[in-house]
Every structure is written in C-alpha cells, then in structure tokens.
Chain A
Amino acid sequence: MKILCDRQNLQDAFSVVGGIPPQKTPKPIVQNVLLRAADDRIVFFATDFELSARVTLDSVKVLRPGEVLLPAKETSALLRELSEPTLALESEEHRCKIESGSGSFVLVGDDPNEFPAEPTFDGTRTFKVPSAVFLEMVRRTSFAAAREETRYAINGLLLDYDAGNLRLVGTDGRRLALTSAEIEGGDEPARAVVPIRTLHSLLKAVGDDGDQDLEITLGNSQIAFSLGDVEMISQLLENRFPAYEQVIPKVADSTIEVDRSLLEKNLRRVAVLSSGDVRMVRFEFKSSSLELSAESSGVGRADLSMDASVDGNGGKISFNPDYLLDALKVSDLETIRIDMTDDATPARFSLGENYTYVLMPISGS
C-alpha cells in the first residue's frame, strides 16, 4: 500500500475512529485502526466488538492499493504533532512508514487479515434527524446517564420514538433529563437503549457542522448512525429502561421562575462551601426571592439571595449542586421554571423547548 494525502484530512478522518480502540483488551489487535486504500480513497475502520466505526476519505492519491493496521494511540499522537501539509504513507509487511518531508516514522501494526471483519447489520427501520438537532439532544441528556457500572441498566440513553416524535432520556436514578424533537421516522413506535459511550463517540466523530441529516437505523440488537462519510454501528443495551414517565411530576405545590444564568452563577458560588460527605445546597423559596445556602463544617458557610417569582407557598428543598449545574450549563433559556412540592418529592425544571429535567432532592437535611 502506498498513498499520498493531505495531513489535515487524514488527521480529521483518523480522529473519527481513533477513540474507539480500547486501552485495555484481551485482544490487543483491536488497539489498531485498519486502513484500507483503493480507488483513490481510503477507509479507516476501528472496533472494540461492541462499537465500530468507519470513515471514508476521498481526495487521496492511492499509488498502490492495500491494507495496513496502524496502532491507534501512537498514530493519533503522531498526526497531532506533524505540521507538514502532505504526507506519504507506505506499508511494508505489517509496518507503515509515514513520511512528512522533515522526517520519517515507522509504526508497527499487526496482520490486517487477523483484524475483525466489519459487523453485519440487520437494521431496516430508519429515522432521519438533522445532525445538529440530534447532537444537541445528546448533550442535553447524556450527562444524566449513570456512570457507575452498578447501574448498567441505565448506562445508556433511551431513544423513544412515537408518531413523528423522538424522545431522548437519560437517568442515573437520582436525576432524569428528557428532551424531544419532531423527526421523520414513520408511524410505528420504537424504543432502544443506546450505550452512552456510543453517543459520546458519535459526538466526537461528527462535530457540529451543518444541517446534514443524520440517519439512524435500528436493528434488533444493533443501531447504526450514518452521516456523510462516517458510519457507526453499535450494540444496543438490554431494553430495561425504568418507567421514566412515572417519575416526572405532573403537579406541584409551587411554580417558580428564575434567571438561569444568575442561578448558575450563584449556585457555583454557594457550592464552594458545600463540600462535605454530601454535596448539598439548600434552596428556600420565599414570596419573591430564592435564598441559597450551604455549609461545610470546619470550612465555612455561604448565604445568598436572588430574585425569583414564586407562585405558591415556596418552601425548602436541597439539591446536589453539581447535578443542577450539569443541566443549567446546557440550557439556553433566559428564564427557567421550577416546579416543586417538598423536600421529599422530585422537582421539575423546564430548561428549554422540549427540555425537562427532574431532580430528586437530598432528604434529611
């Protein structure tokens, strides 16, 4: 194999797949990325058996077709460091030589014939959504999904489609983020739980450029995302998402409106003094104000008051400030709405068009 190509293009394409090879694996061969060159285009392919991605790069000069495996970590690092506009890649045995003009680098890969084949995909049900819309939906919900492995059942986001409406839901059992959008996808309902890792890889791979449609195809146990030159196929998680609709409060004793960016700023300030065994900030809604306070024994105490329009009796409720900041950060509203009942009932935050966040308070404070 021998090719000539633009360094920036090569680096961009490589970064789509470069994050997929696992750091630790019983099968070290998948720590490589497969490069296949033919017909004046190259294809990169990487997999960790659960998630695989391929990206096609045109506008390459293929002098000699062929395949080679590139060690993902070293190749990524090397491409970042090179600055010459054009690179020449040439393979010999299981090595690949990269010439930049100022230097030559030999990367030792492995036998491409031993590399896992691209997965077969069984899906037929296709949805179309502008990529920027979908990526924003992922950003609005993914932070709320469980990180610890113990809650594997909700270690992903729920895609819940019904009659032209796609919902994305993330929860770790203490908070829940829900957002929705109108999309193309037919009449029949569909549900799938997508690993959070897959969606993070998608965010990294496709970036935020433009109104191109992202094509999402659902299979029985797989999901595929396709956008331009990029295609990702992922295993789905077991469809055991909790009954999320039940925990979204339908009624509340008080409805409060506050300035979002001011709340975010003030919450950060008060949260400085909330370190302890449990991170906690107390909210007290009075008739026209919100009093925030936090205390850390032996460290100090913070009290802060801000304007709020309170409809109802208000009251006291405590939250983990980090959980709320996560959501306030991705909200783009000027004024947000909070529906709360008491310190033992989940509070509901309306953070944007079709964007709801439910947060369980800290009790016993």
Chain B
Amino acid sequence: MAEHRTILHADLDAFYAAVEQRDDPRLRGRPVVVGGMGRRGVVSTASYEARRFGVRSAMPGSEARRRCPDAVFVSPRMEVYLREAQVVREVFESLTPLVEPLSLDEAFLDVTGSAALFGDGPAIAARLRAEVLERTGLTVSVGVAANKFVAKVASDLRKPDALVVVPAGTEAAFLAPLGVERLWGAGPVTVDRLRALGLATVGELADFPAQLLAARIGERAARHLQCLARGEDDRPVVPDREAKSISRETTFERDLRDDEACHRVLLELAESVGRRLRRAGKRSASVRLKVRFPPFRTVTRQAAVDPPTDDDLQIAALARRLLGQVRSSRQPVRLLGVGAAELIDGDVPRQGSLFGEDAPAVDPRRARLTQAVDDLRERFGDGVIRRGG
C-alpha cells in the first residue's frame, strides 16, 4: 500500500466548443458559443476565445451576443458529444478501474494502483492527455494530487491544455495563495463571511484560529473548510459501476422540526440521488430513508419500487411516506438521508404501463425536463435551478 493516493482530475477543455472547432476548421481561433440560440437560450459552452470577452456558461444568449458580437453561435450536437465522451471514458478506464465521472467532460481517477503498469501520477496524466488528443483531437487538462479536492483545483488552475502536479506534502503550500472561493463548499454567503473576517486566501483561512472561525460560520463548516484549506480530503474515488447503492444525507446544525422543511430537504436529497442514478444509467428498486432523532437514535426504513425508478419526485414521495411512518409531526430530526438500493441497469427492458399517471418516470416530458435540469446542474452546480413550490 502506497503512503498516499494518486488521484487525477481530468477535465476536457471547453468540451462542446472544442468539438465544434475540431469539426469545422472555419471556427478555429474564433469565439464560438454552443447554445444560447433562441429567445431564452442559455450558453452551454463558450470557447476560450469567447471567454476572453466575458462569455460564460449559463449566461443568456442575448448577454453573450452583447459581450461578443463576433461570436459564432452553434446548436449543440449532443449525440456527437456523447460519442466523444465515450471514447474519453474508454481512455480513462484503460488506465484504472477506479473512474468516477462527474459529468460528460470531467472525471476523477484513482491511479494509485496503476503505478507498476504505467508509471507515477505525472506519467499517467501525460499518457492520458496524449491518448485523448490522439483519439479525439481534444485537449484535456489534468490535475495530479494525493486527493480529489487538490486534484480538481490543480486541473483548473492553468486551463486549457495544462498538466498541474501537486506532490504529496505540498498541498497546503500549493493552495495557500489561492482565493477562498476555490474551496469546495464555500458558496457566495460563506465567502462573504470569510472576507469579512479578512480571509481572502486559502492560506489565511488555514492559519485562522479554529474557534473564532467556528463562531462565525458554524463549527461544521469551519472544520470542513479548514481541512480543505490544509489540503486534506479523504473522499474516495467511487466508480459508478461499482455502486451497489447511492445515497445522500445531511446533518442539521440545529434540529429540524418543521414538516415542510423536512419534506424540502428530502426533495433535495432525492434530486441528488436521482441525478446520480441517471448519471450512472441505473434505476433503483428500493428507496431508503435514514433519520436520526436527537441525540443519537438512528432509524432506517425502505420501500420497494416496482418498476424501478430514477425519478426524483417518485423517490422523494416514497422518502416522505417513509418519514411519515417513523416521525410524528414536528418531531425534531438531526439528520435526514435518502438512498437508492437494488440498482439495475437503466437500459434493460422495461415493463410498460397501462395508465400514464401511474408511471411518472415514464412520462417523456418529465424525463426530458429532468434531463435538462441534470445538464444544467452538471455544468453550473446544484444552485443553478430549483423546483418551484
């Protein structure tokens, strides 16, 4: 067993736009915007040339046109991107079985065990970049580090077409000059609070007294951020196809009593679980609920789902029903978790339904909507869109 892990974060550079530039020589060297057509379209990817004008993903097309009038707007060709992503995935999986895709164009690889075959982290990263370029003509930026968080920061640092290696033991020094907004879990509100404390860089945050920080942003958040700031992150790389179950849970800083709030949390957890199911191409035949009542009584319940589902609302509805079975109204809870087990491949044959309303997941409009929301979240993060009401 190695002393430390070797984790790669690989991220294709301006993926969709790069594919368009590859396939149409006239687009090369020019600002290209994929998406953002139509009256209400938003940009899905901008080429680096367009980014120089301030065009960003998720930006309304009209705004992108204003910032970069010379940009060429093209419609997304999802089937082409999917095909390329598959090739890239094959390259990843030829280097290690431990591949955790984050989206079409991004993945973590744990290559600790591949050293004897392919060399050390930097060597494997170089090989990965060369093979992706050779097979697809696309460039991929890679970060190499001893954990996921640092690898991700590294891959992002000198994009595009970059390889950044952070040797084990130098994580804190590597992170120190970077802005606190780089920290995973530091949203705008937290960043504002950190700035108010005079903490602009990761290094300043790492050195700040833990108790003072906890008093300002809460104990859990403080501990979490300072761990990251020191470059500590022990989350494993979880390959999708090994997943036996997918679950998400959240612990509340203050016990939650409100029924509506509990349901809201269950919906958010169900959305996260549903998204990971869909990403893995799985459906679940068993939905699980985990509840912790203060101080430490933890209860789990599960319900069968037939036919198996990957639908957020159906998972949320079941989780809600299970919660109703173990919790009385306004009873405080400390933790809620939603899980999906008994996973089956999503593309296996499916039992059809006689009545449309009986099978919400099969409703093509809802499935399309869910897919669209997934795409947005993959690209711009969970906060980009929420269910109304």
Q: Which residues of A contact B (CB under 8 A)?
A: 148-151, 171, 173-176, 242-243, 247, 276-278, 280, 318, 320, 344, 346, 358, 360-365
Q: Give chain A residues whose Cβ lies under 8 Å from the Cβ of B90.
A: none
Q: How far is the CA of A150 from the CA of B302 in the complex (A)?
A: 13
- Report yes or no: B348 in contact with A277, Cβ–Cβ below 8 A: yes
- Report yes or no: A278 in contact with B350, Cβ–Cβ below 8 A: yes
- Report yes or no: A150 in contact with B349, Cβ–Cβ below 8 A: no
Q: Smallest CB-CB separation from A174: which chain B residue?
A: B351
- Report yes or no: A362 in contact with B351, Cβ–Cβ below 8 A: yes
Describe B's contact surface by its main secondary structure.
mixed
Which of A176, A277, A360 makes the CB contact (< 8 A) with B352?
Answer: A360
- Report yes or no: A151 in contact with B358, Cβ–Cβ below 8 A: yes
Q: Smallest CB-CB separation from A176: which chain B residue?
A: B354
Q: How far is the CA of A309 from the CA of B122 in the complex (A)?
A: 69
Q: Give chain B residues whose Cβ lies under 8 Å from the Cβ of A148.
A: 304, 306
- Report yes or no: A150 in contact with B354, Cβ–Cβ below 8 A: no
Which of B304, B321, B344, B349 makes the CB contact (< 8 A) with A364?
Answer: B349
- Report yes or no: B353 in contact with A173, Cβ–Cβ below 8 A: yes
Given the contacts A148-B306, A150-B318, A173-B359, A360 and B349 also touching, CB distance less than 8 Å: no
Q: Give chain B residues whose Cβ lies under 8 Å from the Cβ of A365.
A: 349
A-B contact count (CB 8 A): 63
- Report yes or no: A360 in contact with B350, Cβ–Cβ below 8 A: no
**Count of chain B residues with a beta carbon within 8 Å of a chain A beta carbon:** 21
Q: Smallest CB-CB separation from B353: which chain A residue?
A: A173
- Report yes or no: A358 in contact with B344, Cβ–Cβ below 8 A: no
Q: Give chain A residues whose Cβ lies under 8 Å from the Cβ of B219.
A: none
Given the contacts A148-B304, A150-B303, A150-B305, A173 and B358 also touching, CB distance less than 8 Å: yes
Question: Measured between C-beta atoms, what is the minimum distance from A341 to chain B in Å?
Answer: 13
Q: How far is the CA of A346 from the CA of B350 in the complex (A)?
A: 14
Contact flags B138-179 to A (C-beta < 8 A → 1, else 0): 000000000000000000000000000000000000000000
B347-380 residues with Cβ-Cβ distance < 8 A to A are: 347-355, 357-359
Is B242 engaged at the interface, CB distance under 8 Å to the other chain?
Answer: no
- Report yes or no: B350 in contact with A363, Cβ–Cβ below 8 A: yes
Q: Smallest CB-CB separation from A363: which chain B residue?
A: B352
Q: Give chain B residues whose Cβ lies under 8 Å from the Cβ of A173.
A: 353-355, 358-359
Given the contacts A174-B351, A360-B352, A360-B353, A277 and B345 also touching, CB distance less than 8 Å: yes
Question: Measured between C-beta atoms, what is the minimum distance from B243 to chain A in Å?
Answer: 15
Which of B304, B318, B350 makes the CB contact (< 8 A) with A362?
Answer: B350
Question: Measured between C-beta atoms, what is the minimum distance from A58 to chain B in Å?
Answer: 44
Q: How far is the CA of A358 from the CA of B353 in the complex (A)?
A: 11
B278-333 residues with Cβ-Cβ distance < 8 A to A are: 303-306, 317-318, 321
Q: How far is the CA of A351 from the CA of B367 in the complex (A)?
A: 36
B75-93 residues with Cβ-Cβ distance < 8 A to A are: none
- Report yes or no: B357 in contact with A242, Cβ–Cβ below 8 A: yes
- Report yes or no: A247 in contact with B350, Cβ–Cβ below 8 A: no
Q: How far is the CA of A102 from the CA of B222 in the complex (A)?
A: 76
- Report yes or no: B351 in contact with A360, Cβ–Cβ below 8 A: yes
Which of A171, A278, A344 makes the CB contact (< 8 A) with B351?
Answer: A278
Q: How far is the CA of A277 from the CA of B342 in the complex (A)?
A: 10
- A sample of 6 cross-chain residue pairs with beta-carbon separation below 8 angstroms, ordered by A number, consists of A176-B354, A247-B354, A247-B355, A278-B344, A360-B351, A364-B348
Question: Measured between C-beta atoms, what is the minimum distance from B7 to chain A in Å?
Answer: 33
Q: How far is the CA of A278 from the CA of B306 in the complex (A)?
A: 10
- Report yes or no: A360 in contact with B347, Cβ–Cβ below 8 A: no
B335-349 residues with Cβ-Cβ distance < 8 A to A are: 344-345, 347-349
Q: How far is the CA of A363 from the CA of B344 in the complex (A)?
A: 16
Q: Smallest CB-CB separation from B308: which chain A residue?
A: A277
- Report yes or no: A320 in contact with B318, Cβ–Cβ below 8 A: no
Q: How far is the CA of A320 from the CA of B349 in the complex (A)?
A: 11
Q: How far is the CA of A243 from the CA of B356 in the complex (A)?
A: 11
Q: How far is the CA of A361 from the CA of B350 in the complex (A)?
A: 9
Q: How far is the CA of A277 from the CA of B346 in the complex (A)?
A: 10
- Report yes or no: A318 in contact with B354, Cβ–Cβ below 8 A: no
Q: Smallest CB-CB separation from A280: which chain B residue?
A: B349
- Report yes or no: A242 in contact with B355, Cβ–Cβ below 8 A: yes
- Report yes or no: A364 in contact with B354, Cβ–Cβ below 8 A: no
Q: Give chain B residues whose Cβ lies under 8 Å from the Cβ of A175.
A: 354
Q: How far is the CA of A16 from the CA of B350 in the complex (A)?
A: 41
Q: Give chain A residues whose Cβ lies under 8 Å from the Cβ of B358.
A: 151, 173, 242
Q: Give chain B residues whose Cβ lies under 8 Å from the Cβ of A360.
A: 351-354
- Report yes or no: B357 in contact with A362, Cβ–Cβ below 8 A: no
Q: How far is the CA of A163 from the CA of B199 in the complex (A)?
A: 81
Q: Give chain A residues whose Cβ lies under 8 Å from the Cβ of B349.
A: 278, 280, 318, 362-365
- Report yes or no: A364 in contact with B359, Cβ–Cβ below 8 A: no
Q: Give chain B residues whose Cβ lies under 8 Å from the Cβ of A276.
A: 348
Q: How far is the CA of A320 from the CA of B357 in the complex (A)?
A: 21
